């Protein structure tokens, strides 16, 4: 369905394949732990493009930019706050390069600020909103097809993110939460509550990414599907890692296992499927093969 927009393709009933993990794959390729993935936009752009290209070859219809930690406040944790615009522009450029002529969308990834909002933490909601607005503006101007606010856990921060995005652009918008306590986020938010609050905002797709086990992710999907009227984005992690001798994470969910779940995800209501932490291009290929052979 070449030439159609993201929302048009969803409307036409298509099941789309999103990409796999950025961070864990770059780490497996040598990104030192503790270094933000965004650093490789400048240090190893070839590796960033190679990974994204592998996802395209594996069957992804959507590539997310390497900008998960791309708000200025998050980048500042590594002293990169002032390079926010440069980082986000560069990431879109590299993703476009990886995608080339393929009929694949480039989506701008927006992750949490890494801080808690008041009264739990010290960040004002208005400050969070401004942070998200600034990142979204750069991503939009650099030409992403749509935006994905992901791995959210707090309704307040996610609301600030949506408001921030909406203050600068009207691109299609996905909001995805991480249920890392099973079917609750670490703040205790349930999928149903998330659906209710996020649907009241100007959001196009609701999602789940990066939780606990594949079964926990599936339970969260079922709960979300029961209350969501919007299309569902679903990128579970390949289970939780164990650490090897060198403290490198080992994910024991195989590509076959993820492939074996894919039809269930779709049957339970997922319209866009992919994977989060631990999902290699091989895992993604297993997922994409199931989707394309339906």
Task: Select 45 or 182, whichever has its Cβ closest to other proteins.
Answer: 182
Binding partner of residue 25 among other proteins, ligand B1M, none, CB cut-off 5 to 8 Å per kind: none
Binding partner of residue 187 among other proteins, ligand B1M, none, CB cut-off 5 to 8 Å per kind: other proteins
Task: Select 101 or 244, whichever has its Cβ closest to ligand B1M.
Answer: 244
**3-class DSSP string for 87-126:** HHHHHHHHHHHHHCCCCCEEEEEECCCCCCECCCCCECHH
Contacting range for other proteins; rule: CB under 8 A; set: 186-194, 198-206, 232-240, 255-263: 186-194
Tell me if residue 234 falls in helix, strand or coil.
strand
Binding partner of residue 112 among ligand B1M, other proteins, none, CB cut-off 5 to 8 Å per kind: ligand B1M
Of all residues in the shown chain, the one whose CB is closest to ligand B1M is 186
Enumerate residues 92-131 that contact ligand B1M by CB under 6 A: 111-112, 114-116, 121
Which residues 6+ apart lie within 8 Å of 248 measured at CB?
Answer: 27, 28, 33
Contacting range for other proteins; rule: CB under 8 A; set: 46-54, 182-190, 192-200, 282-290: 182-190
Tell me if residue 209 falls in helix, strand or coil.
strand
Say how far apart CA 208 and CA 134 lie, in whole Å: 24
Q: ∠ CA 40-46-52 to the nearest 5 degrees?
A: 85
- HSE-CB for 240 with a 13 A CA cutoff: 10
Enumerate residues 228-267 that contact other proteins by CB under 8 A: 243, 247, 249
Q: List the one residue out of 85, 158, 167 whose CA is nearest residue 116.
A: 158
Enumerate residues 88-127 that contact other proteins by CB under 8 A: 114-116, 120
Could you list the beta-strand ranges (E) of 54-199. Answer: 62-64, 105-110, 146-152, 173-177
Task: Select 66 or 151, whichever has its Cβ closest to ligand B1M.
Answer: 151
- The phi and psi torsions of 147 (rounded to 5 degrees) equal -120, 145
Task: Select 115 or 227, whichever has its Cβ closest to ligand B1M.
Answer: 115
Among 188, 215, 242, 292, binds other proteins (CB under 8 A): 188
Binding partner of residue 45 among other proteins, ligand B1M, none, CB cut-off 5 to 8 Å per kind: none
* Contact status: 85 vs other proteins (CB under 8 A): no
* Contact status: 182 vs other proteins (CB under 8 A): yes
| Angle, in degrees to the nearest 10, between helices 191-199 and 155-166 | 30
Say how far apart CA 263 and CA 275 lie, in whole Å: 14
Binding partner of residue 143 among ligand B1M, other proteins, none, CB cut-off 5 to 8 Å per kind: none
Task: Select 20 or 69, whichever has its Cβ closest to other proteins.
Answer: 69
For the bound state, the minimum distance from the C-beta of residue 230 to ligand B1M, rounded and expressed in Å, comes to 24
What is the x/- site pattern for other proteins, positions 13-42, by CB under 8 A?
A: --------------------xx--------
Say how far apart CA 171 and CA 20 lie, in whole Å: 22
Which residue's entry shows tokens 């992750």? 111
Say how far apart CA 133 and CA 130 lie, in whole Å: 5
Among 186, 200, 226, 260, binds ligand B1M (CB under 6 A): 186
Site for ligand B1M, rule CB under 6 A = 77, 111-112, 114-116, 121, 151, 180, 186
């Amino acid at each position: 369905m070449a030439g159609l927009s993201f929302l048009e393709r969803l409307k036409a009933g298509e099941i789309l394949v999103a990409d796999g993990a950025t961070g864990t794959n770059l780490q497996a390729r040598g990104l030192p732990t503790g270094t933000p993935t965004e650093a490789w936009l400048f240090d190893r752009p070839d590796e960033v493009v190679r990974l994204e290209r592998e996802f395209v070859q594996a069957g992804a219809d959507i590539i997310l930019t390497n900008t998960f930690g791309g708000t200025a406040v998050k980048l500042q944790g590594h002293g990169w706050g002032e390079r926010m615009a440069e980082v986000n522009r560069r990431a879109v450029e590299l993703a476009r390069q990886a995608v080339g002529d393929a009929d694949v969308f480039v989506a701008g990834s927006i992750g949490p600020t890494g801080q808690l909002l008041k009264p739990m933490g010290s960040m004002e909601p208005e400050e969070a909103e401004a942070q998200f607005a600034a990142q979204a503006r750069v991503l939009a101007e650099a030409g992403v097809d749509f935006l994905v606010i992901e791995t959210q856990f707090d309704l307040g921060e996610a609301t600030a993110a949506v408001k921030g995005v909406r203050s600068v652009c009207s691109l299609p918008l996905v909001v995805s939460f991480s249920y890392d306590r099973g079917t609750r986020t670490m703040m205790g938010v349930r999928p149903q509550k998330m659906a209710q609050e996020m649907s009241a905002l100007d959001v196009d797709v609701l999602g789940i990414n990066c939780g606990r086990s594949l079964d926990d992710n599936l339970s969260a999907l079922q709960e979300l599907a029961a209350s969501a009227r919007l299309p569902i984005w679903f990128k579970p992690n390949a289970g939780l890692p164990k650490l090897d001798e060198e403290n490198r994470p080992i994910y024991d969910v195989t590509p076959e296992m993820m492939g074996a779940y894919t039809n269930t995800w779709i049957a339970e209501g997922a319209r866009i499927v992919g994977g989060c932490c631990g999902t290699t291009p091989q895992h993604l290929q297993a997922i994409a093969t199931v989707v394309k052979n339906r």
